Chains A and B, each alone.
With several copies, the nearest count.
Chain A
Amino acid sequence: MTLTAKDFKSDLKPIWCPGCGDFGVVQAMYRALAAIGRPPHEIAFVSGIGCSSRIPGYTTAYGFNSVHGRALPIAQGIKLARPQLLVLAAGGDGDGFSIGGGHVPHAIRRNMDITYVVMDNQIYGLTKGQLSPTSPRGLQTVTSVGGSLEQPINPLLYVLAYGAGFVAQGTPADMAGLTAVIEEAIRYPGFAFVNVQSPCVTYGQENQQIKAHREQMKTLASLGHDATNMAAALARAQHYGSELYTGVFYKNPQPPQTFEAQARERQTQLGPSARPRDRILDMFRQQ
Chain B
Amino acid sequence: MTTDLVIGMAGSGGDGIVSAGEALLSAAASEGYHAMMTKSFGSQIRGGESSCRVRLSTEPVLNPGGTLDVAVALNWDDFLKFGGELPVGGNTVVIYESKTGVLPDKLPLTGVVPAEVFPVPLQDLAKEFAGTEKAKNTVILGLLAGWFGVGSKGVLAGLKKRLAKKGPELFEANERAFQAALRYAAEHPLARPRSLRAPPKLTPKLLTDGNDMCAAAAIFAGCQFFSGYPITPSTEIMQFMSREIWKYGGALVQCEDEIAGIGAAVGASFAGKKAMTATSGPGMSLKAEMMGLATIAELPLGVVNVQRGGPSTGLPTKTEQADLFQAVFSAHGDVARPILAPTCVADSFGLTVEAFNMAEEYQTPVIILSDQEISQRKETCDPIDTAALRVVDRLAPGPAELEDYKRYRFTETGVSPISHPGMRGGNYLAAGIEHNEHGDPTANGVMHARMNSKRFDKLRPLQTRKDLFKTYGDPDAPFALVAWGSTAGVAREALALAQADGLKAKLLVPYLLFPVATAAWTSFFAGVQAGLIVEQSHQGQLYRLLRMYLDLPRGVASFARSGANPFQPKEIVAKLRRRLDNQRTDRDGQPHEE
Do A278 and B387 contact each other (CB < 8 Å), given the known contacts A82-B421, A286-B29? Answer: yes
Residues of A contacting B289 in the complex (Cβ-Cβ under 8 angstroms):
67
Are B251 and A103 neighbours in the complex by a CB distance under 8 Å?
Answer: no
The one of A56, A78, A142 in contact with B239, judged by C-beta atoms closer than 8 angstroms, is A142
The answer to the question of A199 belonging to the interface, with a C-beta cut-off of 8 Å to chain B, is no
Q: Which of B250-285 contact A (CB under 8 A)?
A: 250-251, 253-261, 263-273, 275, 282
Chain B residue with Cβ nearest A64: B430
Cα–Cα distance between A81 and B231 once the two chains are bound (Å): 24
The one of A66, A81, A105 in contact with B275, judged by C-beta atoms closer than 8 angstroms, is A81
The answer to the question of B18 belonging to the interface, with a C-beta cut-off of 8 Å to chain A, is no
Are B264 and A287 neighbours in the complex by a CB distance under 8 Å?
Answer: no
Do A77 and B256 contact each other (CB < 8 Å), given the known contacts A125-B45, A263-B246, A281-B216? Answer: no
Residues of A contacting B264 in the complex (Cβ-Cβ under 8 angstroms):
73-74, 76-77, 80
Q: Which of B367-401 contact A (CB under 8 A)?
A: 380-381, 383-384, 386-387
Q: Which of A72-103 contact B (CB under 8 A)?
A: 72-82, 84-85, 98-99, 101-103
Do A73 and B260 contact each other (CB < 8 Å), given the known contacts A64-B430, A78-B267? Answer: yes
Min Cβ gap B411→A in Å is 21
Contact with B along A260-274 (1 / 0, CB 8 A): 100100110111011
The answer to the question of B230 belonging to the interface, with a C-beta cut-off of 8 Å to chain A, is yes
The answer to the question of A225 belonging to the interface, with a C-beta cut-off of 8 Å to chain B, is no
Cα–Cα distance between A110 and B256 once the two chains are bound (Å): 11
Do A66 and B46 contact each other (CB < 8 Å), given the known contacts A77-B265, A98-B257? Answer: no
Are B256 and A103 neighbours in the complex by a CB distance under 8 Å?
Answer: yes
Are B249 and A102 neighbours in the complex by a CB distance under 8 Å?
Answer: no
Residues of B contacting A283 in the complex (Cβ-Cβ under 8 angstroms):
216
Are B242 and A142 neighbours in the complex by a CB distance under 8 Å?
Answer: yes
Do A78 and B47 contact each other (CB < 8 Å), given the known contacts A67-B293, A85-B422, A281-B216? Answer: no
Min Cβ gap B566→A in Å is 24
Do A99 and B257 contact each other (CB < 8 Å), given the known contacts A42-B421, A82-B421, A143-B235? Answer: yes
The answer to the question of A133 belonging to the interface, with a C-beta cut-off of 8 Å to chain B, is yes
Number of interface residues of B (CB under 8 A): 90
Are B230 and A63 neighbours in the complex by a CB distance under 8 Å?
Answer: no
Interface stretch, picked from B174-182, B191-199, B217-225, B549-557, is B217-225
Are B267 and A73 neighbours in the complex by a CB distance under 8 Å?
Answer: yes
Are B204 and A73 neighbours in the complex by a CB distance under 8 Å?
Answer: no
The answer to the question of B423 belonging to the interface, with a C-beta cut-off of 8 Å to chain A, is yes
Min Cβ gap B323→A in Å is 16
Cα–Cα distance between A280 and B497 once the two chains are bound (Å): 37
Residues of B contacting A51 in the complex (Cβ-Cβ under 8 angstroms):
45
Cα–Cα distance between A65 and B48 once the two chains are bound (Å): 21
Are B204 and A16 neighbours in the complex by a CB distance under 8 Å?
Answer: no
The answer to the question of A173 belonging to the interface, with a C-beta cut-off of 8 Å to chain B, is no
Min Cβ gap A216→B in Å is 25
Do A44 and B257 contact each other (CB < 8 Å), given the known contacts A49-B313, A68-B282, A270-B246? Answer: no
Q: Which of B88-146 contact A (CB under 8 A)?
A: none
Are B421 and A41 neighbours in the complex by a CB distance under 8 Å?
Answer: yes
Cα–Cα distance between A275 and B244 once the two chains are bound (Å): 10
The residue among B255, B381, B387 with the most chain A CB atoms within 10 A of its own CB is: B255
The residue among B254, B290, B420 with the most chain A CB atoms within 10 A of its own CB is: B254
The answer to the question of A151 belonging to the interface, with a C-beta cut-off of 8 Å to chain B, is no
Are A130 and B248 neighbours in the complex by a CB distance under 8 Å?
Answer: no
Contact with A along B17-47 (1 / 0, CB 8 A): 0000000001001100000000000011111
Interface stretch, picked from B61-69, B206-214, B449-457, is B206-214
Chain B residue with Cβ nearest A40: B427
Min Cβ gap B512→A in Å is 23
Residues of A contacting B47 in the complex (Cβ-Cβ under 8 angstroms):
17-18
Chain B residue with Cβ nearest A51: B45
The answer to the question of B312 belonging to the interface, with a C-beta cut-off of 8 Å to chain A, is yes
The answer to the question of A106 belonging to the interface, with a C-beta cut-off of 8 Å to chain B, is yes
The answer to the question of B72 belonging to the interface, with a C-beta cut-off of 8 Å to chain A, is no
Chain A residue with Cβ nearest B45: A17
Are B235 and A128 neighbours in the complex by a CB distance under 8 Å?
Answer: yes
Residues of B contacting A146 in the complex (Cβ-Cβ under 8 angstroms):
242, 246
Cα–Cα distance between A61 and B270 once the two chains are bound (Å): 13
Cα–Cα distance between A265 and B293 once the two chains are bound (Å): 32
B interface: dominant SS: mixed
Are B428 and A15 neighbours in the complex by a CB distance under 8 Å?
Answer: no
Cα–Cα distance between A46 and B169 once the two chains are bound (Å): 52
The answer to the question of A39 belonging to the interface, with a C-beta cut-off of 8 Å to chain B, is yes
The one of A126, A133, A270 in contact with B45, judged by C-beta atoms closer than 8 angstroms, is A126
Min Cβ gap A145→B in Å is 5
Do A278 and B220 contact each other (CB < 8 Å), given the known contacts A69-B257, A202-B46? Answer: yes
The answer to the question of B201 belonging to the interface, with a C-beta cut-off of 8 Å to chain A, is no
Are A76 and B440 neighbours in the complex by a CB distance under 8 Å?
Answer: no
The answer to the question of B247 belonging to the interface, with a C-beta cut-off of 8 Å to chain A, is yes
Chain B residue with Cβ nearest A144: B242
Chain B residue with Cβ nearest A77: B267
Contact with B along A121-145 (1 / 0, CB 8 A): 0001111101101000000001111
Chain A residue with Cβ nearest B264: A77
Are A41 and B422 neighbours in the complex by a CB distance under 8 Å?
Answer: yes
Are A77 and B421 neighbours in the complex by a CB distance under 8 Å?
Answer: no
Are B235 and A62 neighbours in the complex by a CB distance under 8 Å?
Answer: no
Min Cβ gap A249→B in Å is 24
Do A280 and B219 contact each other (CB < 8 Å), given the known contacts A44-B421, A51-B45, A267-B251? Answer: yes
Cα–Cα distance between A124 and B230 once the two chains are bound (Å): 9
Are A44 and B282 neighbours in the complex by a CB distance under 8 Å?
Answer: no
Are B208 and A284 neighbours in the complex by a CB distance under 8 Å?
Answer: yes
Min Cβ gap B300→A in Å is 13
Are B247 and A15 neighbours in the complex by a CB distance under 8 Å?
Answer: no
Min Cβ gap B132→A in Å is 21
Do A41 and B426 contact each other (CB < 8 Å), given the known contacts A62-B421, A127-B231? Answer: yes
Are A66 and B260 neighbours in the complex by a CB distance under 8 Å?
Answer: no
The one of B230, B273, B430, B432 in contact with A81, judged by C-beta atoms closer than 8 angstroms, is B273
Given contacts A98-B257, A263-B246, 19 further A-B contacts (CB under 8 A): A41-B427, A64-B267, A64-B429, A64-B431, A65-B431, A65-B441, A66-B430, A68-B282, A70-B260, A82-B273, A99-B257, A103-B256, A124-B230, A130-B239, A142-B235, A278-B220, A284-B206, A286-B30, A286-B205
> Contact residues of B with A, CB < 8 Å?
26, 29-30, 43-48, 204-208, 212-213, 216, 219-220, 222, 224-225, 227, 229-232, 235, 238-239, 242-244, 246-251, 253-261, 263-273, 275, 282, 289-290, 293, 297, 312-313, 349, 380-381, 383-384, 386-387, 420-433, 440-441
The 4 closest A-B pairs by CB, nearest first: A77-B267, A73-B263, A77-B264, A274-B247
Complex A-B: 13 CB contacts under 8 Å: A41-B427, A44-B270, A62-B420, A64-B429, A68-B282, A69-B257, A77-B263, A77-B268, A85-B271, A127-B230, A267-B250, A284-B207, A285-B206
